[in-house]
Amino acid sequence: MTHSTNVLVPQSPEEAVASFGDGAGITVVAGGTIVMPELSSGRLRPERALVLANAGLDGISAANGAVTIGATTPVLALVGATPEPLSTFAAYVGDYEIRSQATIGGNLCAPPGPESPRGDLQAPLLALGARIRSAGAGGERTEPVEDFLAGGEGRLVLAIEVDEPTSSGASAIGRPHAHNYTIMAVAAAAGADGVRVAVTGAGPRAQRLPSVEQALAGGADATAAAAKATDDVTPADDALASAWYRARMLPRLVEQALSQL
Amino acid sequence: MKLYVNGIEHDLETPPLESLLTALREELAITSPKAGCNQGGCGACTVIVDGEPRRSCLTPLAAIDGASVTTVEGLGADGALSPIQAAFFDHYATQCGFCVSGFMLAAHTLLEREPGAGRDRIIEGLAGHLCRCTGYVKIVEAVEAAARGDVDLSRDRDRESEFLTEGSQA
Amino acid sequence: MKAVGARLPRYDGLAQITGQVRYVDDVRVPGTLWAKALRSPHHFAGITKLDTGKAEAMEGVHAVITKDDVPLNVYGHLSALGVPGDEPLLAEDEVRYKGQPIAVVAAETEELAQAAVESIEIAYDEREPLFDMRKAFDADAAPIHPWGPVYNHFGPPDHRRIRKGDVEKAFADADVIVQGVYRPQAIEHCPLEPQTALVVPEADGRLTIYSCTQAMYFSMGVVAAHLQCPLNRLKFVGGTVGGGFGGKVDTATETVCALLAMKSKRPVKWRWTREEEFLASSTRAPWHMEIADAVTSDGWILGRKMLTLHDAGAYTRFSSYGLTKHAFHHTGAYTIPNLNFNGYVVFTNRVPTTAMRGFGVTSVSYAAEMHMNRIADVLGLDPFAVRLKNANRIGDLTGNMVRLKDPSTVAVMLAAAERIGHELPAELRGMTNEPRTGELLPEHLKASVATNGSED
């Protein structure tokens, strides 16, 4: 159902940035796992589509303690090759085929699903204090992942940069099967500026848990800090789990993740 | 747009943002990949693209211009069954048969990546595929047998099937 | 005897593993049009306006059908058995479930068909929907059908009932009354092949219907009835089903495709999306079951009173048949001498429910077995003992007056106990299927055996 769409297939990062321009009226297709069902069903009928498969935006490189991950790096490639807890979270996504097709950039930009949260790599990226390099209106810029997520749409992600944490933790509600989005998962990472904790599945998007982080900074132990988690989020009912269940599971997941630090 | 499907070169007229599944089924009339959900949830449309299993319903043609695609029609060589096909046949790993092409292609690539894969790796490798009939037991048994190399490729299954057809008509 | 006991190849196995099996969606006929449906976005509403003019005028649209195009629009899946029909093929003045088809378009492409559907002008008068069969059964609930809240063709009375023995005496004699309410929920069959039909109009005026139905001749009758045409105008091609589990006896797509093919004089295919499958295809029914058993403190069940509500969804389909099977099985694998069962088919604004593996029986098996556990729990007895004591035996009489010739309850329970290593006392371990006689015949069963003992 895509006969009238102008399809652009850039062959280099520069060409991708030029084609994207200010992002108006354009739909970005990276791995396609989220956007293709929208296109095939006719729910999304873009003027222009930017297919990034050949744009050379994939790849992982390390320098000076920082790891740079290209936007179209497949989720599968993150497993075992990127800092924790990102690597563990990448293994939670879909099945082998979805992981090898879905990209980190697509996951970062995933809008909340109609029946469930998605974009479950946002939590480890928040915990790691990732920096996002993107193009779009006003040119290229690099910003903290919180700012990128708050700024929302209309940017073309080029690369994601994370530092190796001194220690990390990850805890998730086990998925009943590989076809689900993660119900809820907590990422924690300790670095020079303290401990960051983030959750996915407790709201439409992943978010940090500042009350937990402040309690830890104030000397609270994992259990006491974890009890603060529900101060920061208001879980909702959706197709995967009830708000009641999530609110009760969240402190447990936080405690488990913190206990691994 | 150009694809090599089961070794044959095709210039495609299907628009570039359409899925590989649509191109295979609607333009090339290769119907073994199935449109079970058209949203990546069931695995019935999985084909092999440049050696890797991919959900063809999630793959825009524009992303794979020039790629080699294998479907079950092209899995065996010279009309013979591939080991995974023979294993599925011998272990009765199909019932309605709608999901089987996706399962076999996923299993085939799994055993190329991890020869001799054990039960846990097989279950993990097939986790994205849904079967509503078999309960998966026979499917996993078939892939385990193929992983062990426990497949007799010298059997003439064409003749066996003919025998059964004759027998049932008699 | 070449086949019995032999390990034979599947006759269609080679075709399946080489991708040669042709399911309906795999059939290729040049010039095939795609069908798309306008479905109700509301659970319950009156239709105050329906204008398909814009859709019909679109280039590439070859046919649009509504209720006015169906020779016999209201029909029932059990009409062949004399049950009056209650379900329109395409909605008339009201829609009673979300996803109910109202109009269907056939166009050159799926995209165009969808655009045509979106151009149909329609207005609704929304009403308060009912989703819970128990609330729909309340005396003050506003019924969703003019004839009332329940299917009323068992009749009279308006429900399926079973009466056996003297249930009031059983309750008077009981040491304990054990009650329970059981509510298994709807299940979507979710076959991997969605509902699909392809209908080709032939030069001789016949229609070739490629169908994924589980019940060829049944579906043929349903299509012929809606079309008001003789069976010999229809050639059904089917038998290759990509999973059904009961959900593909509903003839969901064939009739609409046939009407579109006749109107457009072109082959027409209708393949539901997965969203449509979950939204509008029938499900296994939810059930509401209330059981009260009169039991003795040593574990004999003297009598059972049971009320069952079967959620038909918006229309009957096969519900009365499913409830009847349910009624016959309402004591599970056990013999209870005194019974009072009332079962109602209740309408709600949910998608119509239908057959699914063990239609009508799985729900009551679940309830009956849960209730056996509850009885054992209340009495502080071994659940195996309660089951074995009340197990069906040769010569026992079921609720629907069938004398059992070879029931398997005792053998199954003993085998289950052995498999899980559950120790049983000797008198239970040695139980057999043989008729209860003499000293083995408990007092409460004597009357029933004496009354019916000479039938065979």
Contact B17 A2 (CB under 8 A): yes
DSSP C192-204: SSPPEEEEEE-TT
CA distance B162 to chain C (A): 8
Among C13, C19, C241, whose Cβ lies nearest the Cβ of B101?
C19
Contact C12 B168 (CB under 8 A): no
Among C22, C189, C274, whose Cβ lies nearest the Cβ of B39?
C274
The residue with greater pLDDT, C82 or C390, is C390
Contact A1 C273 (CB under 8 A): no
Q: Write down the pLDDT at residue B156.
A: 83
Find the residue in C nearest to B25 (Cα): C26
**A2 in reach of chain B (CB within 8 A):** yes
CA distance C279 to chain B (A): 13
Interface contacts (B, C; CB < 8 Å): 103
Contact C114 A42 (CB under 8 A): yes
CA distance C318 to chain B (A): 23
Q: What is the mean pLDDT of chain C?
A: 93
Which candidate in B26, B72, B82, B98 is best for mutational testing of the C interface (most C CBs within 10 A)? Answer: B98
- CA A49: distance to chain centroid? 22
Find the residue in C nearest to B131 (Cα): C192
C161-180 average pLDDT score: 95
Bridge partners, A42 (sequence order): none
Whole-Å CA distances, B41 to A181, A249, A255, B59: 11, 27, 32, 13
Round to whole Å and give the CA distance between B91 and C159.
48
Contact C111 A3 (CB under 8 A): yes
C22-32 average pLDDT score: 96
**A114 in reach of chain C (CB within 8 A):** no
Q: Quick check: B164 pLDDT over 70?
A: no
Among B17, B55, B110, whose Cβ lies nearest the Cβ of A7?
B17
The residue with greater pLDDT, C156 or B29, is B29
Which candidate in C8, C110, C192 is best for mutational testing of the B interface (most B CBs within 10 A)? Answer: C192
Which residues of chain B have a Cβ shorter than 8 Å from any chain C Cβ?
25, 29-32, 34-39, 41-42, 44, 71-73, 75-76, 81, 85, 88-89, 92, 94, 96-101, 104, 130-133, 157-158, 160-161, 164-165, 167-168
CA distance B12 to chain A (A): 14
Q: Quick check: C351 pLDDT over 80?
A: yes
pLDDT range class, residue A35, cuts 50, 70, 90: very high
Q: Which residues of C fall within a CB distance of 8 Å from A1?
A: 109-111, 114
How do beta strands C160-164 and C176-182 pair? unpaired
Place of tokens 């004089």: C265
- Percent of chain C predicted with pLDDT > 70: 96
Q: Which residues of B fall within a CB distance of 8 Å from C29?
A: none
Find the residue in C nearest to A45 (Cα): C111
Round to whole Å and give the CA distance between C37 and C63.
12
The subunits that touch chain B, with at least 3 C-beta pairs less than 8 Å apart, are A, C
Contact residues for C406 (Cβ-Cβ < 8 A; gap 6+)? C394, C433
Degrees, nearest 5: CA angle C423-C426-C429: 70
Element (H, E) at C61: strand C61-65
pLDDT tens, residue by residue, C359-389: 999 999 999 999 999 999 999 999 999 999 9
Contact B161 C14 (CB under 8 A): yes
Round to whole Å and give the CA distance between A186 and C65.
52
CA distance C348 to chain B (A): 28
Q: Write down the pLDDT at residue C448.
A: 60
pLDDT tens, residue by residue, C246-298: 999 999 999 999 999 999 999 999 999 999 999 999 999 999 999 999 999 99
- Asked whether B125 and B111 are in contact (CB, 8 A), the reply is no
Contact B42 C271 (CB under 8 A): no
pLDDT range class, residue C156, cuts 50, 70, 90: confident
Among B63, B110, B130, whose Cβ lies nearest the Cβ of A32?
B63
Contact B167 C2 (CB under 8 A): yes
Q: Is C239 exposed, middle or buried (0-12, 13-18, 19+ CB in 10 A)?
A: exposed
Which candidate in C16, C198, C213, C271 is best for mutational testing of the B interface (most B CBs within 10 A)? Answer: C16
Round to whole Å and give the CA distance between C12 and C1.
21
pLDDT range class, residue A146, cuts 50, 70, 90: very high
Find the residue in C nearest to B75 (Cα): C18
DSSP B86-105: HHHHHTT--SS-SSHHHHHH
Contact residues for A219 (Cβ-Cβ < 8 A; gap 6+)? none
Contact residues for C437 (Cβ-Cβ < 8 A; gap 6+)? none
Q: Write down the pLDDT at residue A244.
A: 95
pLDDT tens, residue by residue, C225-252: 999 999 999 999 999 999 999 999 999 9
CA distance C193 to chain B (A): 6
Element (H, E) at C221: helix C216-227
Q: Range with the lowest mean pLDDT among A219-233, C122-136, C145-159, C199-213?
A: C145-159
Element (H, E) at C256: helix C254-264
Interface of A with B in 10-29 (CB under 8 A): 29
Q: Write down the pLDDT at residue C69.
A: 98
Q: Range with the lowest mean pLDDT among A60-64, B157-161, C25-29, C272-276?
A: B157-161
Contact C114 A1 (CB under 8 A): yes
pLDDT tens, residue by residue, A109-144: 988 877 788 888 999 999 999 999 999 999 999 999
Q: Write down the pLDDT at residue A117.
A: 81
The subunits that touch chain C, with at least 3 C-beta pairs less than 8 Å apart, are A, B
